[in-house]
Amino acid sequence: MNLTLKIWRQKNANDKGKMVDYKVNDISPDMSFLEMLDVLNEQLINKDEEPVAFDHDCREGICGMCSLYINGEAHGPDRGITTCQLHMRMFKDGDTIYIEPFRAKAFPVVKDLIVDRSSFDRIQHAGGFISVNTSGNTIDANAIPVNKHDADKAFEAATCIGCGACVATCKNSSAMLFVGAKVSQFALLPQGQIEATDRVLNMVKQMDEEGFGNCTNTGACEVECPKGISLENIARMNTEYLKASLKG
Amino acid sequence: MSGILNSSIGRKFAMALSALFLMFFILQHFAINILSVISPDAFNEASHFMGTFWAVQYLLQPVLIIGVIFHFVMGFVLEIKNNKARQVSYAKNNGGANSSWMSRNMIWSGGFILVFLVIHFLDFWIPEINTKYIQGDMSGLLADGEGYRYFEELQHKFVPIWRVALYCIGFVFLSLHLLHGFNSAFQSIGANNKYTKGLKGFSKIYAIGIPLGFIFIALFHHFNH
């Protein structure tokens, strides 16, 4: 496959940045999207040009590091995948492919296609945990019975890898699917009840302070989420937040 | 409880509550308007009751006006805030791949509904307030005193085809707004459960049926005056 790539290039966080055109030839349809970018970078290095910076780590859809906005969609045109799981067979010979970083005020561009998603870490620090004494006194989680339905729902919420596709794809750059999943995974379990009030209030407060937009229920986040996190988690967070606000 | 309206979820909840209130109002508005097709006398009686009963005039009407203003102002405030959350736009964005046109363009359908509401207020509400509270005529009777004026006035308004067309366009935008807004309001107040699928079906019936009914009423009076 021969392709034209339109890639966002930005030297650093302060640079204005622009789209730059590149040609790549003889791309195998069996390559992953990131392998195709590796081919491009090899070409650029051989020409003594600056390679394109992009995030990646596990390359098997678990770590949530790869974060590209491809042809107008987070993680590209396929469903239920991260960018590293996107294959070139999803494109046709001669295609022009737009490759941009995830865009949000709360995800500032560091360089080229790499964005800083530490705002997600700060939301997690605000309450995305349970306080358990683990210093030689670890309690077996299975000692507390959990309803199967709740356990399954909590597990589904916990599969969120925090990649940020929900924010990138939302027209409002809202982080509510991410925060909804993180709140839900504890709200559904007995272990999460003790800190439930503070958790949701603090996480939502931090989310708002980071500059994410408001959810308008377009549902785009759910469609683009590589882990299929449901909008049900946002509804649950809303309920948890209102309960906590009335209590606190 | 403090600061709930300053939070993203609190604002979303308030937006949803005002939307649910307005959707209930639209339903009762439709219920009265459809009487004009079924029975002019019943329409006159209902209109006179709504136009003169103190609880409707001095309690529900101000609440409705506050609800409408709140919904529009909050809608625009949230739109501005949301636009600020993404300062650099995508060179290519394929919104149609993951969300409906209606859900992405609530501000535009809402804006057109606002324009329609201004026209609607100029056509009906302001003349009504003028007759009742400036001229002081609370009788609801025609100038010759032969029966109520409401049905006559309604038919007279829908004689010009341009006004009928304007109203039809307004109702199309209302339908587009409700197609996303109805179900979205329930999601915002945390109602996403086993009833959601059924609610989505009902929301489509409401969002298409009610505006279509209003269009029918406008056309009926245009062709039967």
- The tokens of B57 are what? 């005039």
B91 interface with A at CB cutoff 8 Å: yes
In angstroms, the CA A29 to CA B219 distance is: 57
Helices (H), A128-175: 148-158, 165-169
| Contact (CB<8Å) A216/B78 | yes
Please enumerate in sequence order all residues whose Cβ is within 8 A of that of B71, keeping only pairs 6 or more positions apart, or say none.
B15, B18, B19, B22
- Choose the closest CB to A214 out of B12, B89, B187: B12
| Contact (CB<8Å) B98/A169 | yes
Q: What is the pLDDT along chain A (248 residues), one digit of tens a residue?
A: 999 999 999 999 999 999 999 999 999 999 999 999 999 999 999 999 999 999 999 999 999 999 999 999 999 999 999 999 999 999 999 999 999 999 999 999 999 999 999 999 999 999 999 998 888 887 787 889 999 999 999 999 999 999 999 999 999 999 999 999 999 999 999 999 999 999 999 999 999 999 999 999 999 999 999 999 999 999 999 999 999 999 87
| Contact (CB<8Å) B98/A208 | no
Set of chain B residues whose Cβ sits within 8 Å of the Cβ of A71? 92, 94
β-bridge partners, A9: A18
Taking the domains of chain B in order of start, what are their residue ranges? 7-84+106-224
Name the strands in the sheet holding A18-24, side by side, starting at the edge strand that comes first in the sequence.
Answer: A18-24, A3-9, A96-101, A68-70, A73-74
| Contact (CB<8Å) A204/B82 | no
Q: Read out DSSP for B50-70?
A: HHH-HIIIIIIHHHHHHHHHH
Domains of chain A by start residue, with CATH:
3-111 (3.10.20.30), 118-247 (1.10.1060.10)
Residue of B nearest to A239 (CA): B190
In angstroms, the CA B82 to CA A172 distance is: 5
B161 interface with A at CB cutoff 8 Å: no
Residue of A nearest to B1 (CA): A245
Phi, psi of B93 (to 5 degrees): -130, 120
pLDDT of residue B3: 67
Residue of A nearest to B187 (CA): A235
Q: How far is CA B157 from the centre of its chain?
A: 19
- Choose the closest CB to A236 out of B180, B188, B190: B190
Q: Which architecture does CATH list for B7-84+106-224?
A: Up-down Bundle (1.20)
Let me know: does A1 contact A88? Beta carbons within 8 Å: yes
Let me know: does A108 contact A13? Beta carbons within 8 Å: yes
| Contact (CB<8Å) B99/A6 | no
ipTM score: 0.94
In angstroms, the CA A119 to CA A108 distance is: 10
Set of chain A residues whose Cβ sits within 8 Å of the Cβ of B4? 242, 245
- Choose the closest CB to B184 out of A171, A172, A217: A217
Set of chain B residues whose Cβ sits within 8 Å of the Cβ of A244? none
Burial A117-139 (b: 16+ CB within 10 A, else e): bebbeebbebbbeeeeeeeeeee
- Choose the closest CB to B7 out of A204, A217, A234: A204
Other CB atoms within 10 Å distance of the CB of residue B56 = 13
pLDDT in tens, B117-148: 999 999 999 999 999 999 999 999 998 888 99
Return the closest-CA partner of residue A176 out of A235, A223, A226, A129: A235
